[in-house]
Structure 1
Amino acid sequence: MITGHGDDRYLFNYNIVADFSSNVYYEGFSDKLNNHLTHCLHKINNYPEANAQRLQAALADWHGIKPGQVLVTNGATEAFYLVAHAYRRKSATIIIPAFAEYEDGCRANDLQINHLHWDDLRPDTVFQTDLVFFGNPNNPTGAILHPQTIKKLLDHHPATMFVIDEAYVDFTVDVISMVPSLDEYPNLIIIKSLTKTYSIPGLRLGYILSNKAVINNILPSKMPWSVNTLAIEAGLFIAQHRDEMVLPVSTLTWNALELISALNNIGDISIRKTHTNFFLCQTPKGTAAELKLFLLQTAGLLIRDASNFKSLTPQHFRIATQRKEQNLLLVKAIKSWMDSL
């Protein structure tokens, strides 16, 4: 189980003015979705579908694949654990830094784990493990791999299963999803999440895309009814209304660039290049934990202390861009902290 993550406001007795710690889209929760779920409350009087079959079919239609290529899960995290369980006692390479649940799922299922830093990943990288996990875009850096590179890796490693976390694929203007190539590669698993784009992390809703044989291999390990009624209803609503709920990714990207520029002007903060609305920073003095506490106490602003990501340091923190006026508050508060050291 992950120890430390974004959106951990429940740990602090402070009034949160703006939450920069979570990568969930700050305006993603739809009033129409809210109304729909309110009208669905009576359905919790009955059991949900054991494997969310209607949503499975809707997601297959969305992605232009067959229902047997989809497995709906209790958030993307259940998906990572299910994949790891299907390969229990085997081996995995995790491209780091990365979401901790890749590794936690592997450890819970006794996989031998290797690590490779994102910066060392090349099209000709040689893998000798049964699984390779990475996020595209990467969390926490916002870095991406283009499909051409991924295809070379898949072609060169037919015996290795590549597990690609596309939770943040909607947050980049780059076209990087591997879903169109799903039928070309039997060694490809894609993990999707509806949490981030549509601001429903409390409902826990994700899914696995792969070929039918892989899905059938994973399915026996999945608990029945792991996806609740309201999560299923939310997924069905999103699938039906997805054209009305498109993320304003160009605006988010522009706001991120403006925020990065402003932060670059206040000191020697190191900011890694990103392709998303969130990005990784490193403070030249003090620690991310100290900065986080200062921002909470003085401004009610919450950032992500990224020191628990493997390969990162106590100075690393992650920021997810918010509204412009909130971004300005953050810049001012960080400058105040830097000036106080």
Structure 2
Amino acid sequence: MSWPEHGAMNEALQEKLQTNRRDVIDFSVNTNPYGAPPYLLDKMKEWLSSIFTYPDPKQTKLKKEIAKHLGVTEEEVLPGNGGAELIYATARLFTNQTVLLIEPTFTEYRLALTANHARVKSYVTTEETMWQWTVEDLEKVAKDVDAIWFCHPNNPTGTTISPNTLDSFLTFCYEKNMTVVVDEAFFDFQVTPFSFLPYVKKDYPLLVLRSMTKMFAIPGLRIGYMFGQRSLIQQIQSFLPAWNVNSLGEKAIVTLLQEQNFVNDTAKRIHVERERVHSEIEKLGTFHVFPSAVNFYLLRHVDNRDVEPLLRFLAQEGIHARHTYHFPRLEGRYLRFAVKTRKENEQLLDVLSRWN
């Protein structure tokens, strides 16, 4: 049996590792550990009657609210049925074109591009550079490339690139007439995030994808949006079916866009807990933890040994981690852990302390 393709696949991971625990804490899931805003479930009950009518196929109100939130025009935004739908729709832009992926990163980008007959080139960052890249690095490999696609902050490394580098990078792509696609699924988990909005307003060939399911801990609802250059957004809109966002999803997006205080509070709480957990793990002397700007982080043995025995031990102890066998250059030598609640993190620390 192959390794599960994603996190949050408990049954598949148990089958692969031949374990059978019901009381599992799933550290492979990187949604908000504190849950959704407390009122949201009651709101969903209030909104239930909306499922008996069609949502607006033109998404007029929804686009207006997203545009207002971002400070862009309605023609520069596009709601979606979760980030995955927008990833695959965006990939259709590049049929028979060449796209440079900055990896290791979320594996669905490559799958979406190849499914749409794009040619995929790869630039792979490494531990030696702390998963960082420079404009000079990309200039060497970006010849005859139509687009560059990356995740920021990156999944699974949790890393960000400096604002100065991003500014130079976007200018470089603009001068070379290369489209830039940025997935910001974990944008709002940063305490001080870099904003790509000014470049959209300057009409750069830029597309930015955002998921709302991570921060608000509602992955089953499938809501997200993207923004970018008007002409590119219009093309992607033509690839999507009418009514692609359901009535409950529409109402949830409009409501949750107003929750900036919730977002800010979550980012601060996770920052404090992440740094505490990192410090405690490093004290064990068995593992190396990599810096992260978001709600997950990478870990490996200090001696760089295979982590499959650790992954199995954790599962036997009721802890699921995210393997990295599908990520280029990571290839299973690292595990990714979500930042959970303090109680759950203490259980992880206890199990790690008993590993040798």
Report the TM-score when normalising by structure 1. Answer: 0.92
1:335 corresponds to which letter in structure 2? S
In the other structure, the counterpart of 2:165 is 149
C-alpha spacing 1:297/1:83, structure 2 compared with 1 (3 Å): same
In the other structure, the counterpart of 2:310 is 291
1:24/1:197 contact within 8 Å kept = yes
2:78/2:233 contact within 8 Å kept = yes
Task: After superposing the two structures, state which structure 1 stretch, 43-52 or 271-280, moved more.
Answer: 43-52
Distance 1:23 1:170 in 2: 13
In the other structure, the counterpart of 2:320 is 302
Distance 1:328 1:211 in 2: 45
Q: Say whether 1:278 aligns with 2:278.
A: no
2:184/2:209 contact within 8 Å kept = yes
Distance 1:287 1:55 in 2: 48
1:282/1:317 contact within 8 Å kept = yes
Percent identity of paired positions between Structure 1 and Structure 2:
26
2:34/2:341 contact within 8 Å kept = no
C-alpha spacing 1:241/1:249, structure 2 compared with 1 (3 Å): closer
1:75-90 to 2 correspondences below 5 Å: 75-90=82-97
Q: Deviations over 1:311-338 (max 9, x none)?
A: 21222110111111211110111222x2
Deviation at 1:246, TM superposition (A): 3.7
In the other structure, the counterpart of 1:136 is 152
> How many residues are aligned here?
336
2:147 corresponds to which letter in structure 1? L
2:277 corresponds to which letter in structure 1? L
Task: After superposing the two structures, state which structure 1 stretch, 46-55 or 227-236, moved more.
Answer: 46-55
Distance 1:198 1:144 in 2: 21
2:124/2:328 contact within 8 Å kept = no
- RMSD of aligned alpha carbons: 2.0
In the other structure, the counterpart of 1:42 is 49
Aligned-partner SS, 1:224: coil
1:123 corresponds to which letter in structure 2? V
Distance 2:189 2:147 in 1: 26
Deviation at 1:3, TM superposition (A): 5.0
Distance 1:324 1:240 in 2: 27
Distance 1:91 1:258 in 2: 42
Report the TM-score when normalising by structure 2. Answer: 0.88
User: Which structure 2 segments of 5+ residues have no match?
Assistant: 15-19, 126-130
1:209 corresponds to which letter in structure 2? F
2:152/2:159 contact within 8 Å kept = yes
Q: Deviations over 1:231-289 (max 9, x none)?
A: 11111111244445544222211211111111112233222222223111123476444
Deviation at 1:98, TM superposition (A): 0.3
